[in-house]
Copies of this chain bind each other. A is one copy, B any other.
């Protein structure tokens, strides 16, 4: 492996409600997934996140979520496939409109929160998201949890798929992230995060807490901006990757 992407969620404030540390993280990552107004991110916050990404040479993606500000998109909502598809297409279009005003293009899509979790296991949900992506712009890269139904859906729909692992989340033996409700879900120690990232790359696999290997390609690693340790962890991981001679590049620069 000679190149990899680092991505993070951005633009998750809403009006006066401020979340995350966009400015701190933007200089460390290479691709930003920007909330699209349903779980977070009002139109002005979106425009600010796009401008910040542009100024930082960070590629822009859409981060669509459920229509649920109170739950921050972290509640499971059971929608029919049609509503789900158009809900995602709507959000992709909205961000594309905002980005166009800054002379930027949206180049990837990463589902948020419970939408992402549901799509991990449920092919119908993953396909609805994939159809939305294909209908709005078939060049968009579908950022999909490694070893998930999202990868399968993206391939079935002939989309470009970037397989993703997390820098700062532990994994279970199924290849799914440990739930945030469990105590060891998050990795906050930069050294532990570096070890996880380098071991995944070396193994060509996710490695669970119990040591199980689940083979997969990994095109992009995600870091979390809403953790107090996020910037420190991300900075350490990026430096470690570069010490290994691995280029940290934007998603459109990856060969997928």
Chain A residues close to B by CB (< 8 Å): 13-19, 37, 40, 42-44, 46-47, 67-72, 74-79, 82-83, 86-87, 89-98, 100-101, 114, 132, 135-137
List of B residues within 8 angstroms of A16 by Cβ: 19, 72, 74
For the complex, give the distance between the alpha carbons of A44 and B79 in Å: 12
The contact sample of 17 A-B pairs, CB cut-off 8 A, is A13-B17, A16-B72, A42-B86, A43-B86, A44-B82, A44-B83, A68-B77, A70-B83, A75-B77, A76-B77, A77-B77, A89-B97, A89-B101, A90-B98, A96-B96, A97-B136, A101-B135
For the complex, give the distance between the alpha carbons of A91 and B78 in Å: 22
Given pairs A16-B72, A42-B86, A97-B136, 16 additional interface contacts (CB within 8 A): A15-B69, A15-B71, A16-B74, A17-B19, A42-B70, A71-B77, A76-B76, A77-B77, A78-B114, A86-B98, A91-B97, A93-B95, A93-B96, A93-B100, A94-B94, A97-B135
For the complex, give the distance between the alpha carbons of A96 and B137 in Å: 11
Q: Is the CB of A43 within 8 A of B83?
A: yes
Known A-B contacts A77-B76, A86-B43, A93-B95; the reply to A69 vs B101 at CB < 8 A is: no
List of B residues within 8 angstroms of A95 by Cβ: 93
Q: Please, which residue of chain B has its CB at the minimum distance from the CB of A136?
A: B97
For the complex, give the distance between the alpha carbons of A37 and B90 in Å: 9
When A and B form their complex, which 10 residue pairs have the shortest distance between CB atoms, in order from nearest?
Answer: A93-B97, A101-B135, A17-B17, A43-B86, A43-B90, A76-B78, A94-B94, A16-B72, A15-B70, A97-B136
List of B residues within 8 angstroms of A14 by Cβ: 17, 69-70
For the complex, give the distance between the alpha carbons of A94 and B70 in Å: 17
